[in-house]
Amino acid sequence: MKYVITGGAGHIAAALTEKLLKAGHSVTVIGRTAGNLQGLVSQGATAAVGSLEDAGFVTATFAGADAVYTMIPPNFATDNFRQYQKKVASNYIAAIKANNIQHVVVLSSIGAHMGIGAGPVDGLAEYEGLLHRLTDVNIKVLRPSYFMYNLFNMIPLIKNMQIMGANFGGSGEKLVLVHTNDIAAAAAEELLALDFTGNTIRYVAGDERTGADIAAVLSNAINKPGIPWVEFTDEQSLQGMKQAGLGKEFAASYTTMGKALREGKMQEDYWKNHPALSSTKLEDFAKEFAAAYAQQ
């Protein structure tokens, strides 16, 4: 089989590529720079270096693929992230059509069912809609939950203020968590089997914990027990992200996403379509958290 993987050497794409290579398949990985892909190339992958905003490049790279894995990478350099999402999504659609790709695995997100109101996930919902209009293409949409590695963002809060927190997590409602390795495993499972038909959705999650649980587990892991989870107001969250250097658009977008998490809207469809949980739990991730904390 020939696979094309987007996402370069990112957390999910790299692990996914390695799984496909170990299974004996041909894998082309799209990335922005050759250097970042060298580790995968040394394992047998083919590097395709270019921009996902270049429609011709994407279409040419998808040529001959039996299946593709598509995701819209973050781009903190853009002044209009939503427009960037639209451009990459439209290039994927054009490349799928031009090359008559029969199987597509898509990285979307929990909250995409909302359509609007989930911050950066709104662009993924729009991409899902474009894919749904395709005919004669089999699509598996992966909707993972909150990435555990996003909890690394708590380290500066702990070091500077002795707290963890966000504009969600204080109500006692469980935050659905997942490790990126488990997302890669789910994507590999779908790509290796290629037995999905039509347009179907798969939620991917590993643990379900309250903000207080998260604070307790992670603070114990760094030998600072008792650090609380504090729920910020939306304005506090917005200003905090701006002060941390995040652009105005991104700060506003992530604040909106936090609000949707706090109100339970992002998780609503997840609870209605509850999946079997994957293997990595918060306690497992806590070891990685402790190592990262010690290095900062």
* Residue 128: predicted pLDDT: 98
User: Whole-model pTM above 0.95?
Assistant: yes
Q: In degrees to the nearest 10, what's the CA dihedral of 251, 281, 226, 264? A: 50
| Cα-based distances in Å from 70 to 17, 250, 275 | 13, 22, 22
Per run of 10 residues, the mean pLDDT along the chain (length 296 residues) is 96 98 98 96 98 98 98 90 96 98 98 97 98 96 97 96 96 94 98 98 98 98 97 96 89 96 96 97 98 96
Instruction: Please say whether the dihedral angle defined by the alpha carbons of residues 220, 224, 229 and 233, taken in this order, is positive or negative.
Output: negative
* Residue 77: predicted pLDDT: 85
CATH topology of domain 2-144+179-204: Rossmann fold (3.40.50)
Task: Show me where the domains of the chain are located.
Answer: 2-144+179-204, 152-160+162-173+207-295
* Residue 106: predicted pLDDT: 98
* Residue 285: predicted pLDDT: 98
The class that CATH gives domain 152-160+162-173+207-295 is: alpha beta
- Amino acid identity, position 290: A
**Whether the Cβ atoms of residue 207 and residue 174 lie closer than 8 Å to each other:** no
| Cα-based distances in Å from 290 to 59, 183, 211, 249, 293 | 42, 22, 18, 31, 5
Residue 41 burial (C-beta neighbours within 10 Å; 0-12, 13-18, 19+): middle
Helix (H, G, I), strand (E, B) or coil at 200: strand
Question: Crossing angle of helices 282-295/154-161, nearest 10°?
Answer: 60
